[in-house]
Amino acid sequence: HVLIIGETGSGKRRLARLLHSTGERAGLRLLSLDCSSPPPLPARLTEGMSTTERLEAAQQVALFGREGVEVRRGLLELAGDGDLVLEHIDQLAPRIQALLAHYLERQAMPRILATSTTDLPEAARLGDYSPRLLRCFSEPAVHLPPLRDRKQDLTALIDEMLPDLNRKHQRRVTRVDKSALHKLVDYSWPQNQEELRRVLDRAVALCKGETLTAEHLFLHQGDFSSQGRLNLLEWAPLRRLLDRSDPWRLPRRVVTGILTGVMLTLALGGQAAAAANLALWSLLWPGLLLLVVCGARLWCSVCPLHGLAQLVPFKPAALPRRLLHLGPWFGLLGTLAILTAEQIFDMRHNPTATLGLLAVLVFATLGTNALFGRRAWCRSLCPLGRLVGQCARLSLVELHSNPEVCGSQCRVHDCVRDRDCPMGLHPGAVSASDDCVLCLECAHRCPHGSVRLDLRWPWLGLLQQRPREGAAALFGVVIAAACPALSLAGRATTATQSGAAAGVFCGLLLTFLLIHGKRGRSSSLAAAGTAWLPLAGAALLAHESRHFLTAGEALPAALLHLTGLDRWIAPEWVTPELGTLAALPFLGLVAAVGLGWYLLAHMRRQNLLSFAQVLAHRLLQLAAALSILIYG
């Protein structure tokens, strides 16, 4: 008899079946019993029993059978000269342990292949398990190491699982590329082979070609917890919204119509173009950033660029791999280019320049989507999408799923099967708040109610997700440094003042890098970059709301004139007083610096940053906030 000990999901059952199929009993019968969940007995036979007593009775009948009116042969008898796999033998009741030990001491057949997640020799030493039953098994017991300690087996396990998953999803996946394999190797696999199979199951369901890439893999990081969160999908109006597919179709069409009207108005010129330009720059940036706080990347679901792109036929192709990897850098540099062009061409007062920027974005979206498929621009290249995605980590809402429900109940992945997520995600992805556009398609299709739209504290999105490296690590400090530099450059009249603007930007960015030394570890840079995201959002809001605070009072009058309503409504009736709002940028910066300091302290407790680095970043954030107040 053989005892196999290992963690949950480590492949104990597979090893037991392998021992049978490769041994002398390969042609004989193989039966199995899960001792933690034996076949239940009829209710009339267990009436009045406690839960423990019912489990014990079911274990006894399953193993030894039952005499009387309804004769039932036990598995020990049915297995004959073959093998009997007893899963979770550590869950046997003490009385059943004694009965099984008595049986095995007198009978050599069948051979028992037992599995346990508990170290039974240690449990027997402590008096928590039957030493008599343990002596019936060969010594030593087989200790199966967890998957995290034998990652060299990953390739073989993947090759074994892919054929079954291909048949299940009617796919033809034959290989896993290097980026995906590296992602799998870097993961710790707390649930071992069972989790690997679930991850590959989702990946194969998403993959349309022959190769699995890193973009198809969604790995769960950390334990699921609803603490500090409120599921908004339990609210009846939102539940009704899920009854139909694509609930944002009408809002997207409205916003698309508005953008088209604005572009036509800008093209016509005159007072109407000036009014449209004023409305666009006064409302777009502040409104976009506030929407991110309240709705994460919801803007991308109603984005007019996506609405226009749906009118153009596309072919399902893949972005070149190199372009895909450069996407974060493209987004960062694109955001910086838009902010710089806005300042250089004075777009707030230049309708023609604004029209040019909108035209570039529209043609880039249409061209990319036409060449590489739906949402190709949004998913990988869009600067606004990258900006919104970074700031979405500070949002009050987050869509994700309960991994326990997905792992235990989902078998067909309705949330991604047939009609894929527009961003190519699975709701169990830990980085969903960065990329999820809250289209709610997965919640509409999930039959298990696993998908949640949580109201959360904004800092949870930064604390509970791994810091991003590369371009994402620099995003916060680049935007926080660019805002005061661009404001100063916009008022520069001499080369010295322009040089000072460049000095502000380069000084903040270089100091950030020098804090980590010439060979700064990517992990410490990523941790520090996470702590700069709140300041980046507050800096951008302060920078872009300045135009609204100075020119917003004229906006109602301009809109009345544009629509012809000024004949019936006097402009002074609707002209607001915005002076009291001037304190909002200051309050936002104070809150952002406070949150940034809190995040730095958290990174220090995680040993990602040293005390000196935390102190240096706090001083640098304070200097950046002061420069924004002075120059912004």
How many helices (H) does the chain have, and how many strands (E)? 30, 12
Q: Are strands 83-87 and 111-116 parallel, antiparallel or unpaired?
A: parallel
Q: Binning pLDDT at 50, 70 and 90, where does residue 539 land? A: very high
Query: Looking at residue 596, what is its pLDDT?
Result: 93
What is the tens place of the pLDDT at every residue in 89-137?
999 999 999 999 999 888 878 899 999 999 888 888 888 888 888 888 8
Of all residues in the chain, the percent with pLDDT exceeding 70 is 90
- In a 13 Å sphere around the CA of 336, the CA atoms on its Cβ side amount to 18
β-strand pairing of 83-87 with 30-34 = parallel
Half-sphere exposure for 432 (CA within 13 Å, toward CB): 26
What is the model's pLDDT at position 380? Answer: 80
Q: Hey, is 303 helix, strand or coil?
A: coil
pLDDT tens for residues 469-505?
Answer: 678 888 999 999 999 998 888 877 777 878 888 888 9
The CATH architecture assigned to 149-216 reads Orthogonal Bundle (1.10)
With 70 as the cut, is the pLDDT of residue 407 above it? no
pLDDT mean across residues, the chain: 83
Count Cα atoms within 13 angstroms, Cβ side, for 585. Answer: 26
- Binned at pLDDT 50, 70 and 90, residue 626 comes out as very high
What is the distance between the alpha carbons of residues 609 and 525, in angstroms, rounded to a whole number? 9
**233-242: long-range contacts, CB 8 A cutoff, minimum separation 24:** 233/443, 233/451, 233/452, 233/453, 238/453, 241/440, 242/440, 242/443, 242/444
pLDDT at residue 534, rounded to an integer: 93
Share of the chain above pLDDT 90, in %: 17
Give yes or no for residue 72 having a pLDDT over 90.
Answer: no
Indicate the pLDDT class of residue 236, thresholds 50, 70 and 90: confident
Residue of 56, 111, 52, 120 whose CA lies nearest to 86: 111
Which pLDDT belongs to residue 23?
83
Statement: residue 50 has pLDDT above 70:
yes
Over residues 494-533, the pLDDT tens digits come to 778 788 888 889 999 999 988 887 655 677 888 888 899 9
The CA-based angle 403-405-411, given to 5 degrees, is: 100
Query: pLDDT tens for residues 54-67?
Result: 999 999 989 988 87
Q: What are the pLDDT digits (tens) for 291-326?
A: 888 888 888 888 888 778 777 776 666 677 777 778
In CATH, the number for domain 2-144 is 3.40.50.300
Measured distance CA(84)–CA(20) in Å, rounded: 9
Give per-residue pLDDT as tens, 134-156. 888 887 888 889 988 888 889 99
- Write the pLDDT tens digit of every residue in 354-374: 999 989 998 898 888 888 877
Q: In Å, what is the CA distance from 431 to each residue of 207, 221, 423, 424, 425?
A: 19, 10, 12, 12, 9
Q: What is the model's pLDDT at position 432?
A: 52
Instruction: Measure the CA–CA gap between 387 and 337, rounded to whole angstroms.
Output: 12
pLDDT band at 538 (very low <50, low <70, confident <90, very high): very high
590-622 pLDDT tens trace: 999 999 999 999 989 888 888 999 999 999 999
Does pLDDT of 164 surpass 80?
yes
pLDDT, residue 326, reads 82
Distance CA 275, CA 3 (A): 80
Per-residue pLDDT for 224 more than 70?
A: no
What pLDDT, on the 0 to 100 scale, is given for residue 433?
60
Specify the pLDDT at position 576: 73
Would you say 308 and 365 are in contact if contact means Cβ atoms under 8 Å apart? yes
pLDDT of residue 85: 92
Strand (E) or helix (H) holding 4 = strand 2-5
Phi first, then psi: give them for residue 211, nearest 5 degrees: -125, 130
When pLDDT is averaged across residues 161-174 and rounded to a whole number, the result is: 89
Question: Which pLDDT score is estimated for 34?
Answer: 92
- pLDDT confidence of residue 265: 81
Higher-confidence position of 197 and 265:
197
Q: Please check whether residue 33 is in contact with residue 63, taking contact to mean a CB–CB distance below 8 angstroms.
A: yes
For the ranges 338-342, 416-420, 464-468, the maximum mean pLDDT occurs at 338-342
Confidence at residue 501, expressed as pLDDT on a 0 to 100 scale:
85
Q: Which secondary-structure segment (H or E) carries 231?
A: strand 229-231
Quote the pLDDT of residue 68: 61
Does residue 221 carry a pLDDT above 70?
no
Segments of the chain assigned to CATH 1.10.8.60: 149-216
pLDDT at residue 414, rounded to an integer: 60
Label residue 419 by pLDDT band (50, 70, 90): low
Contact between 319 and 380 (Cβ < 8 Å)? yes
pLDDT at 220: 64
Query: Do you find a cis peptide bond into 383, omega within 30 degrees of 0?
Result: no
Measure Cα distances from 179 to 215, 238, 380, 515, 555 in Å: 9, 38, 17, 30, 51
